[in-house]
A and B are shown apart, each in its own frame.
Chain A
Amino acid sequence: MILPRLAFLSLRNRWLTALLTVIAIAVSVALLLGVEKVRTGARASFADTISGTDLIIGARTGGVQLLLYSVFRIGNATNNISWQSYQDIAHRSEVAWSVPLTLGDSYHGFRVLGTNEDYFKHYKYRGNRDLAFASGRPFDDLFDAVLGADVASRLGHKVGDRIVVSHGLGVIPQGEHADKPFRVSGILAKTGTPVDRTVHVSLEAYEAIHIDWKNGVKTPGLSPPPDAVRKLKLTPKAITAAMIGVKSKLSTFGLQRFVNDYREEPLLAIFPGVALQELWGIVGTAEQALILVSAMVVAAALLGLVTMILSTLNERRREMAILRSVGASPRTVIGLLMIEAGALTLLGVLLGVALLYLGLYFARPIIDARYGLYLPIAPLSSAELVMLVLIVGAGFAVALLPAIRAYKMSLADGMTVRI
C-alpha cells in the first residue's frame, strides 16, 4: 500500500498544481455532464410536452412548424382552418374528441390561447398526466381566463385578478383589449410544458375581444360593451389548429389521409410523436456539436494533467532515483505516476459530479422559468456512468506518456541523478 500513500504525499506536496488540475478536470466533467443533462432533459421535455393526442391539424404548412406553433407556442400559423372545416373533421365517426386552438394575442409576452373546456380534459403531458388546477377552475364566464403556472407566478396573479390582453404577439403590443378585461378564474399547476406560459381563454371570448377589429386594426366607435357582447352569437369563423383524439388507433392513418386530402381547403394532419422526432432530428446536429465541444474540453483538461506531470518530472528525478535505490522497480515508478494521474482524474470526476448537481440545484428554477426546460435532478444514467468510467480510465491511460518517460529516465539515471 506504499504507492497510494506516496502518491498522496507527493500530491499533497504539490497541492496547488494538483488542485488546479483537479478543478480543470471537474469543470470539464461538469460541463460534459451538464450538456448531457440539458440534452436529455430537452429531449424529454420536448417529448413530454404532449401525449395522448393522436393528430394535430392545421392549415397546410410544414409538420414541424405546425407542431411548433400549436404545441410549443413558437412562431405563427401561416393560415387558419375555417370553423366549418374543423366541424366537418371533428364530427367524423372515428373522432373521439377534438380541441380547437386559436392563437394570436398575448399578455405581457405570454401567448393567449383560445380553446374550450375540453382542453383541460384532453390535453395530457409527460406520460398521460392530466392538467390540474392549483387554484380556481375552468372558464365560468365569457371573460374568464385560466393562467399557466409561470404566467401567474411571474406576474404575481391570483384567482379573481383582472387582466387585459394585448392584440398581436410582439413584445410591443399593437393595442390592448382594455375595453374587455378578463377575470382570472383558475391557475394551473406547474407542468414543465409551454402550458405554464400560456393564458387560456374561451374561443368565444377570443371572438368577443376581436368583434371590433377588422384586418388587424381596431375600428373606432364600434366597440360594444362586454354585457352587450355576451348576448351576441360568438361562433368563431376560423381557428388556428386542433388536437384530435381517435376512437381506434387503427383509424388514425385514415383520418390523417382524409385531412391531408381535404378538398375544401388545404390542411395538414400530423402525428405529434413523428413531428417531435423530426424536430429533434433538426436540433440533433447542434446537440452533437455541443457534445463534441464538451468532449474536447475534457480532452483539454486531460492534456493539462499530462502537461502537469511532465513538467514536474525533471524535478522528481531524484525522487525516482531514491525509490529505485530502495528496491522500487521501474514499473513501480510507472505505477506511482499512473496512480497520481488516476487519483487526480477520479477526484476531478467526483468534484465535477458534485458541481453538476450543485449547478442543477441552483440553475434549475432559472432554466425552467426562462427557457421552459424542465431538468430533473436524477441519478446519473448508466450512459453517463460509463462516460465517467471512461474519463477515469483515460486519466490513467494518458499518464502512460509521462510514466514511460519517467521509466526511461530512471533507467538512465540509476541511483544517481545527473541534472
Chain B
Amino acid sequence: MSRSRAKTVRAGLHALGVDRVDFRWPGPHGFAIAIDRLTIARGERLLLLGPSGSGKSTFLNLVCGIAVPRAGVIDVLGKNLAAMGTTDRDRFRAEHYGVIFQMFNLLPYASALDNVVLPLSFAPERRKRVVRKRPVREEAARLLAALGIQGSLAIEGMAARLSVGQQQRVAAARALIGAPELVIADEPTSALDKRTQEGFLDLLFGQIEEAGATLIMVSHDDRLAPRFDRALDLCDIATIQRGAEA
C-alpha cells in the first residue's frame, strides 16, 4: 500500500456505508437480499467474493443507486442514496462512480474514445475536473494510452472490433475518466486469460491509485484476494432469500 493511499484509508473516512439494508426484486420469483452492516474506507480496495447467484449484481445495483432498498441506509461519500430521488441518484452516479462490467460492456457502435468520454455527458462536475487539466478527448486518449490502447485504429475504430482484453481496458478508462471517487468492477477479469488478467489488474490498480479512488470489485475468484486491501464473502455479510420465501 502506498503512503498516500494508506493515509487516506487510515483516516477513517468511509466511501460506502451500508446499514440494515433490505431489498427485494419485484415479481413472483423475487430475489431478496438483506445486509446488516458494511463499511468501506475511502481509497480502500475491496474484493467481494461469492458464487453465481449469491446476489453480487444486486448488491452492485444497490451500491450504484439503480435499485432502491425497502429499508436501510446506503451512505456513499456522505449521502444517503436511498433517500435521493431518481434524478438525483442518476446524477450522483454519473458524478462519483466509474463502473466496469464483466464483458461486452462498451457501446459496440461507438469508438473507444466515444465510449470513454460517455460518462462526462451526464456529469458536468466530473467533466469540469477533466477540462481543467486538458481537453476531454485528449484526456480520454491519455487514459487509453496509459492502459495500453494506442493507435488511431484502436482509438477511433468501432469498439466492437477490439479484442476482449482491449475492450476491458477501454471500459476501465471509461470508469476512470474524471477521477470518480468510487470505481465498481463487476467481474472484470473473468473473460480474460491469466496473463491478460494480471496485466489488466496492474494497469487498473495503477490508475486507481493515481486517481485516489475506492475500488469495489466483485468476483468468484478468491485467488485475486492478495491484491486487495480486504476480501469479503458476500455470503458472510448478506442474507439471501429466493422465490416465495422472499
CB of A93 within 8 A of chain B?
no
Bound form: Cα–Cα A5–B115 in Å: 12
Shortest C-beta distance, B74 to chain A (Å), equals 14
Contacts of B152 in A (CB 8 A): none
CB of B150 within 8 A of chain A?
no
Residue of B nearest to A1 (CB): B121
**Residue of A10, A318, A326, A329 most packed against chain B (CB within 10 A):** A326
Shortest C-beta distance, A165 to chain B (Å), equals 70
**Residue of B87, B99, B158 most packed against chain A (CB within 10 A):** B99
CB of B145 within 8 A of chain A?
no
**Residue of B91, B94, B121 most packed against chain A (CB within 10 A):** B121
Known pairs A415-B61, A416-B61; A328 contacts B110 (CB<8 A): no
Interface of A toward B, CB cutoff 8 Å: 1-2, 5-6, 9-10, 12-13, 318-319, 322-330, 332, 412, 414-416
Residue of A nearest to B105 (CB): A322
Known pairs A325-B101, A326-B174; A2 contacts B109 (CB<8 A): no
Known pairs A325-B99, A327-B90; A319 contacts B122 (CB<8 A): no
Bound form: Cα–Cα A416–B94 in Å: 17
Shortest C-beta distance, A231 to chain B (Å), equals 90
Bound form: Cα–Cα A414–B99 in Å: 13
Question: In the complex the two chains form, is A329's CB within 8 Å of B107's CB?
Answer: no
Known pairs A322-B101, A322-B107; A414 contacts B61 (CB<8 A): yes
CB of B95 within 8 A of chain A?
yes
Give B68-101 as 1s and 0s: 1 = Cβ < 8 Å from A's Cβ atoms.
Answer: 0000000000000000001100110111010101
Chain A, interface SS category: helix
> How many contacts between A and B, using CB within 8 angstroms?
75
Contacts of A6 in B (CB 8 A): 107, 110
Known pairs A414-B66, A414-B67, A415-B64; A328 contacts B122 (CB<8 A): yes
**Which residues of B, 97-153, contact A by the 8 Å Cβ criterion?**
97, 99, 101, 104-110, 114, 118-119, 121-123
15 sample A-B contacts, Cβ–Cβ < 8 Å, listed by A number: A1-B121, A2-B121, A6-B110, A10-B109, A319-B107, A322-B106, A325-B66, A325-B93, A325-B101, A326-B118, A414-B64, A414-B66, A415-B61, A415-B66, A416-B57
The 8 closest A-B pairs by CB, nearest first: A327-B94, A13-B109, A2-B121, A327-B122, A326-B119, A414-B61, A329-B90, A414-B66
Contacts of A9 in B (CB 8 A): 107, 109-110, 114
Bound form: Cα–Cα A5–B107 in Å: 12
Bound form: Cα–Cα A416–B91 in Å: 19
Bound form: Cα–Cα A412–B90 in Å: 15
Give B139-180 as 1s and 0s: 1 = Cβ < 8 Å from A's Cβ atoms.
Answer: 000000000000000000010000000000000001000000
CB of B240 within 8 A of chain A?
no
Question: In the complex the two chains form, is B61's CB within 8 Å of A326's CB?
Answer: no
Bound form: Cα–Cα A5–B110 in Å: 9
Shortest C-beta distance, A309 to chain B (Å), equals 16
Question: In the complex the two chains form, is A327's CB within 8 Å of B174's CB?
Answer: no
Contacts of B64 in A (CB 8 A): 325, 414-415
Bound form: Cα–Cα A415–B123 in Å: 18
Bound form: Cα–Cα A412–B67 in Å: 9
Question: In the complex the two chains form, is A326's CB within 8 Å of B122's CB?
Answer: yes
CB of B225 within 8 A of chain A?
no
CB of B186 within 8 A of chain A?
yes
Shortest C-beta distance, B107 to chain A (Å), equals 6
CB of B224 within 8 A of chain A?
no
Contacts of B104 in A (CB 8 A): 318
Contacts of B119 in A (CB 8 A): 326-327
CB of B201 within 8 A of chain A?
no
Bound form: Cα–Cα A322–B101 in Å: 9
Contacts of B211 in A (CB 8 A): none
Choice from A12, A13, A327 contacting B93 with Cβ under 8 Å: A327
Question: In the complex the two chains form, is A326's CB within 8 Å of B94's CB?
Answer: yes
Bound form: Cα–Cα A12–B158 in Å: 11
Shortest C-beta distance, B179 to chain A (Å), equals 15
**Which residues of B, 42-70, contact A by the 8 Å Cβ criterion?**
57, 60-61, 64, 66-67
Shortest C-beta distance, A290 to chain B (Å), equals 41
Contacts of A318 in B (CB 8 A): 104-105
Contacts of A319 in B (CB 8 A): 107-108
**Which residues of B, 197-220, contact A by the 8 Å Cβ criterion?**
none
Residue of A nearest to B174 (CB): A326
Bound form: Cα–Cα A157–B66 in Å: 82
Contacts of B121 in A (CB 8 A): 1-2
Contacts of A415 in B (CB 8 A): 57, 60-61, 64, 66, 99, 101, 186
Contacts of A327 in B (CB 8 A): 90-91, 93-95, 97, 119, 122-123
Known pairs A13-B109, A415-B64, A415-B101; A2 contacts B118 (CB<8 A): yes
Residue of A nearest to B117 (CB): A2
Shortest C-beta distance, A347 to chain B (Å), equals 18
Question: In the complex the two chains form, is A329's CB within 8 Å of B67's CB?
Answer: no
Shortest C-beta distance, B64 to chain A (Å), equals 6
Bound form: Cα–Cα A332–B66 in Å: 14
Question: In the complex the two chains form, is A416's CB within 8 Å of B99's CB?
Answer: no
Residue of A nearest to B177 (CB): A326
Bound form: Cα–Cα A374–B47 in Å: 78
Contacts of B94 in A (CB 8 A): 326-328
Residue of A nearest to B26 (CB): A412
Choice from A1, A13, A323 contacting B108 with Cβ under 8 Å: A13
Bound form: Cα–Cα A5–B66 in Å: 25
Contacts of A414 in B (CB 8 A): 57, 61, 64, 66-67
